[in-house]
């Protein structure tokens, strides 16, 4: 069997193994014991991960040609055909390996975290199904199959966020995530329709070569007002990405997803659902490159998300919500890279972020386990002495997130800041100052969480004092495995990802020469180690260090934090209310929709349908009957008089006709 056929069958196995594991856990979980269930599910995901490593080696390291293979034709309609087909190229092979590594670690971690949960088998079924949907999204070679995976992760995330369905907050969070994502999905559906209309196909390899010729095609939005079709399609695609990748203002669902168990928080926020939008925009780079207006919009929205959502994390006390807002901020960084046409850099940060963000979530989960599901950092403190391994891994994740060299986040995050600095696309200056200021904010909220949780005076509830201990090995093993790439992946990947003659992503990314900032970055790059050594000469490093020192200062002198709260009470209130997005959604959208529905019910249903159509017709017939009944008096002379009147009326009518 040749290598191409092996890769095709391996790709099919990679997708189907998690699906099979999900079905086993979901349908047979009650018949199997817990141990056998997790062994089957984790084992299948592990096999899929190792198969993805082989695919990565052959496609990316060995440089084999991309493979586009059709397994099944979904439907045909005239000249159109819709296939279940996989595209195995450098971008999809890289994403496969990252998604499955994070998923594999999360599956192992789940064994310990969910050990006492009555929904153990159900949770494994959902997590494995979530992995299946993400893999379909990554491997799809056409818009329709991409949308299938896109909707799949949205549906399963609803199930996972609301996993503890007896909690009202979990139900609210899952519904909120589902509805907000549907808003973005409307844009995605319309974009798919536009692609089919203007390009006559939904397959990437048919669509992308036609884009340069389609630049002059227009869509008439209003009479005498035409807009480039490529711009409209790109804008609609980005609206879809805004929903999945939680960009302002469609970011409100992501903090609410913290109501789900911690393993799924790590899986959703690290390398799967929230990065689906980033991956999609990078995949569609041949479309986005021909719409500078949309790239400018991405820069502005990404910069806004990176800075302003990070500020909200500074006032949070729930350890998981701090990390959730951190995810929002980092997704903003990735979006900024996309807007600057630095798609390779965006995927580079996606990879490093997957490692250290999953690490931070799972380390936070380790703390939550030890404290019997306590998440308020005001009831923590001094945990470093009790949980040294969790503490060490949390430090590694924090340093990587804050872009301190030589940790992974330093290389990708600093490159994003430099790329947007060199970009000439309108909106780049605004985005540059947002991501630069975001470096301070990131360090501030990250080390605030670190100091409040692991340092200072113990603030544990009396029932937990002296009883806190390190998590079991099944929880610590994924932490250690994620900590390693959180340290070294940036240094290892930066040259092959960005500066090699044949970059890791190769020709899967398309950038117009006038938008390409990487050549300027390459002139200043002289190796990963020298980049780390020269970090002290860059403003980004000292801004990040200032954030760490500020967090330390307010930990040592908490009274100054109270002074600032009072001095800047308005700003503090705005941050606590999360800029009013939730209030607006609740008052205008939720209550407004309910009030509008109530109005329609009272007017159309009660008054028009019930009052006029149903009850009104009954009242009208009753009136006719009551009126006619008065005529039936029973007196003979009344009837004779009526007959005379009738005869007179007939004679008058007859005479008038003559």
How does DSSP assign 333-358, residue by residue? Answer: HHHHHHHTT-HHHHHHHHHHHHHHHH
Judgement on whether residues 529 and 628 belong to the same structural domain of the protein: no
What is d(CA 154, CA 535) in angstroms, rounded to the nearest whole number?
40
Of these ranges, 101-105, 167-171, 272-276, 515-519, the one predicted with the greatest mean pLDDT is 101-105
Q: Which residues pair with 81 in a beta bridge?
A: 76
Going by pLDDT thresholds of 50, 70 and 90, the confidence category of residue 143 is very high
Q: Which residues pair with 67 in a beta bridge?
A: 88
Give pLDDT tens digits for 332-372. 999 999 999 999 999 999 999 999 999 999 999 999 988 88
Phi, psi of 31 (to 5 degrees): -80, -30
pLDDT given at position 376: 87
pTM (two decimals): 0.89
Judgement on whether residues 590 and 570 belong to the same structural domain of the protein: no
Judgement on whether residues 547 and 593 belong to the same structural domain of the protein: no
What pairing do the DSSP bridges indicate for beta strands 218-222 and 225-228?
antiparallel
- Torsion on CA atoms 64, 70, 71, 72, rounded to nearest 10: 170
Q: Which domain holds residue 507?
A: 291-576
pLDDT given at position 326: 92
Judgement on whether residues 565 and 585 belong to the same structural domain of the protein: no
The answer to whether residue 88 sits within a structural domain is: no
- Written as six digits, the tokens of 459 are 């603030």
- Written as six digits, the tokens of 386 are 């009790």
Judgement on whether residues 517 and 585 belong to the same structural domain of the protein: no
The answer to whether residue 149 sits within a structural domain is: no
The answer to whether residue 404 sits within a structural domain is: yes
Burial of 20 (0-12, 13-18, 19+ CB in 10 A): middle
Going by pLDDT thresholds of 50, 70 and 90, the confidence category of residue 394 is very high
Q: Report whether pLDDT(657) > 70.
A: no
Phi, psi of 221 (to 5 degrees): -80, -40
What is d(CA 333, CA 338) in angstroms, rounded to the nearest whole number?
9
What is d(CA 644, CA 646) in angstroms, rounded to the nearest whole number?
5
* Distance from the Cα of residue 449 to its chain's centroid: 23
Give pLDDT tens digits for 610-623. 777 777 777 778 77
Judgement on whether residues 525 and 633 belong to the same structural domain of the protein: no
Last residue within a domain, chosen from 576, 610, 632 = 576
**251 in Cβ contact with 305 (< 8 Å):** yes
Judgement on whether residues 572 and 624 belong to the same structural domain of the protein: no
Judgement on whether residues 606 and 458 belong to the same structural domain of the protein: no
The answer to whether residue 42 sits within a structural domain is: no
**355 in Cβ contact with 485 (< 8 Å):** yes
**421 in Cβ contact with 339 (< 8 Å):** no
**Does an H or E element contain 83, and which?**
strand 80-88
The answer to whether residue 223 sits within a structural domain is: no
Q: Reduce the secondary structure of 202-253 to three states and give it as a string.
A: CEHHHHHHHHHHHCCCEEEEECCEEEEHHHHHHHHHHHHHHHHCCCCCCCCH
Give pLDDT tens digits for 245-268. 889 888 888 888 888 888 888 888
Domain count across the chain: 2
What is d(CA 145, CA 13) in angstroms, rounded to the nearest whole number?
17
What is d(CA 605, CA 615) in angstroms, rounded to the nearest whole number?
12
The rounded mean pLDDT for the chain is: 88
Q: What angle do CA 506, 511, 513 make, to 5 degrees?
A: 120
What angle in degrees, to the nearest 10, is found between the helix axes of 388-401 and 408-422? Answer: 10
Q: Which residue has the tokens 């931070």?
A: 360
Going by pLDDT thresholds of 50, 70 and 90, the confidence category of residue 411 is very high
Residue 596 CB neighbours (<10 A): 10
Of these ranges, 320-329, 451-460, 579-588, the one predicted with the greatest mean pLDDT is 320-329
**Does an H or E element contain 434, and which?**
helix 428-454
Q: Mean pLDDT lowest for which of 74-83, 194-203, 397-406, 546-555?
A: 74-83
- Say which residues have a Cβ less than 8 Å from residue 295's Cβ, sequence separation at least 6: 288, 289, 338, 339, 340, 341, 425, 427, 515
Judgement on whether residues 365 and 452 belong to the same structural domain of the protein: yes
pLDDT given at position 271: 64
Q: Report whether pLDDT(1) > 60.
A: no
Q: Which residue has the tokens 């519904």?
A: 175
Give pLDDT tens digits for 379-393. 888 888 889 999 999
- Written as six digits, the tokens of 126 are 């959902």
Q: Which residues pair with 142 in a beta bridge?
A: 203
Judgement on whether residues 412 and 313 belong to the same structural domain of the protein: yes
Mean pLDDT score, 151-163: 89
Last residue within a domain, chosen from 528, 557, 576 = 576
Q: Which residue has the tokens 């496609």?
A: 59
**290 in Cβ contact with 215 (< 8 Å):** yes
- Say which residues have a Cβ less than 8 Å from residue 73's Cβ, sequence separation at least 6: 81, 82, 83, 84
For residue 75, give the 3-state DSSP assignment.
strand
Last residue within a domain, chosen from 530, 556, 576 = 576
pLDDT given at position 658: 59
Cα atoms found within 13 Å of the Cα of residue 433, Cβ hemisphere only: 3
Residue 208 CB neighbours (<10 A): 16
**470 in Cβ contact with 363 (< 8 Å):** no
What length does the chain have?
658
Judgement on whether residues 304 and 391 belong to the same structural domain of the protein: yes
Nearest of 299, 403, 280 to residue 341 by alpha carbon: 299
Q: Which residues pair with 461 in a beta bridge?
A: none
The answer to whether residue 550 sits within a structural domain is: yes
Going by pLDDT thresholds of 50, 70 and 90, the confidence category of residue 592 is confident
Phi, psi of 76 (to 5 degrees): -130, 145
Q: Reduce the secondary structure of 127-177 to three states and give it as a string.
A: HHHHHHHHHHHHHECEHHHHHHHHHHHHHHHHHHHCCCCCCHHHHHHHHHH
Q: Report whether pLDDT(54) > 90.
A: yes
What pairing do the DSSP bridges indicate for beta strands 218-222 and 80-88?
unpaired
Q: Roughly how many angstroms between the first and final C-alpha of the chain, as a whole number? A: 103
Judgement on whether residues 524 and 620 belong to the same structural domain of the protein: no
**136 in Cβ contact with 499 (< 8 Å):** no
- Say which residues have a Cβ less than 8 Å from residue 75's Cβ, sequence separation at least 6: 81, 82
The DSSP 8-state label assigned to residue 77 in this structure reads: E
For residue 375, give the 3-state DSSP assignment.
coil
- Torsion on CA atoms 26, 32, 35, 38, rounded to nearest 10: -20
For residue 517, give the 3-state DSSP assignment.
coil
Residue 597 CB neighbours (<10 A): 10
pLDDT given at position 104: 94
Phi, psi of 289 (to 5 degrees): -65, -25
């Amino acid at each position: 069997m040749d290598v191409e056929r092996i890769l095709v069958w391996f790709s099919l196995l990679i997708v189907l193994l998690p699906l099979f594991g999900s079905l086993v856990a979901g349908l047979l979980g009650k018949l199997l014991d817990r141990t056998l269930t997790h062994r089957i599910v984790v084992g299948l995901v592990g096999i899929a991960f190792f198969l993805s490593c082989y695919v990565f080696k052959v496609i990316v390291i060995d440089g084999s040609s991309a493979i586009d293979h059709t397994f099944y034709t979904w439907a045909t309609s005239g000249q159109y055909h819709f296939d279940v087909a996989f595209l195995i190229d450098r971008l999809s092979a890289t994403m496969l390996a990252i998604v499955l590594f994070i998923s594999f670690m999360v599956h192992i971690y789940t064994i310990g975290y969910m050990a006492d949960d009555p929904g153990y088998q159900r949770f494994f079924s959902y997590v494995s199904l979530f992995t299946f949907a993400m893999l379909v999204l990554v491997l799809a070679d056409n818009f329709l199959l991409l949308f299938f995976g896109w909707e799949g992760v949205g549906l399963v995330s609803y199930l996972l966020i609301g996993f503890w369905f007896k909690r009202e907050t979990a139900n609210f969070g899952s519904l909120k995530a589902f509805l907000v994502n549907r808003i973005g999905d409307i844009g995605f559906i319309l974009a798919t329709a536009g692609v089919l209309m203007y390009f006559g196909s939904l397959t990437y390899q048919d669509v992308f070569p036609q884009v340069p010729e389609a630049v002059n095609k227009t869509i008439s939005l209003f009479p005498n007002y035409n807009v480039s079709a490529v711009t409209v399609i790109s804008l609609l695609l980005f609206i879809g990405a805004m929903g999945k990748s939680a960009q302002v203002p469609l970011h409100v669902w992501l903090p609410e997803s913290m109501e789900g168990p911690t393993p799924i928080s790590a899986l959703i926020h690290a390398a799967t659902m929230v990065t689906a939008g980033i991956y999609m925009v990078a995949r569609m780079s041949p479309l986005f490159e021909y719409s500078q207006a949309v790239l400018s919009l991405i820069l502005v929205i990404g910069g806004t998300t990176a800075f302003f959502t990070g500020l909200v994390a500074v006032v949070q006390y729930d350890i998981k919500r701090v990390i959730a807002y951190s995810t929002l901020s980092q997704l903003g960084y990735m979006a900024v890279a996309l807007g600057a046409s630095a798609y390779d850099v965006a995927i580079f940060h996606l990879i490093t972020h997957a490692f250290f963000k999953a690490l931070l979530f799972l380390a936070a989960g380790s703390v939550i386990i030890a404290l019997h599901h306590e998440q308020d950092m005001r009831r923590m403190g001094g945990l470093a002495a009790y949980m040294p391994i969790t503490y060490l891994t949390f430090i590694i994740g924090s340093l990587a997130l804050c872009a301190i060299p030589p940790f992974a986040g330093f290389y990708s995050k600093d490159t994003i800041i430099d790329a947007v600095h060199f970009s000439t696309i309108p909106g780049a200056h605004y985005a540059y100052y947002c991501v630069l200021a975001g470096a301070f904010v990131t360090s501030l909220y990250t080390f605030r969480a670190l100091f409040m949780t692991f340092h200072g005076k113990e603030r544990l509830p009396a029932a937990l004092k002296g009883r806190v201990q390190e998590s079991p090995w099944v929880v610590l093993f994924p932490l250690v495995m994620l900590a390693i790439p959180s340290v070294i992946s940036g240094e290892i990947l930066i040259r092959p990802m960005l500066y090699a003659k044949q970059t890791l992503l190769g020709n899967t990314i398309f950038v117009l020469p006038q938008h390409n900032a990487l050549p300027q970055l390459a002139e200043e790059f002289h190796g990963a180690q020298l980049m780390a050594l020269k970090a002290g000469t860059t403003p980004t490093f000292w801004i990040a260090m200032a954030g760490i020192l500020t967090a330390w200062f307010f930990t040592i002198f908490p009274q100054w934090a109270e002074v600032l709260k009072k001095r800047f009470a308005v700003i503090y209130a705005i941050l606590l209310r999360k800029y009013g997005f939730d209030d607006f959604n609740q008052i205008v959208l939720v209550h407004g929709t309910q009030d509008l529905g109530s109005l329609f019910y009272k007017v159309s249903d009660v008054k028009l349908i019930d009052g006029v159509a149903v009850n009104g017709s009954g009242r009208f017939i009753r009136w006719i009957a009551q009126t006619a009944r008065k005529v039936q008096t029973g007196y003979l002379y009344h009837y004779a008089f009526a007959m005379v009147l009738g005869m007179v009326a007939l004679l008058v009518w007859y005479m008038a006709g003559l």
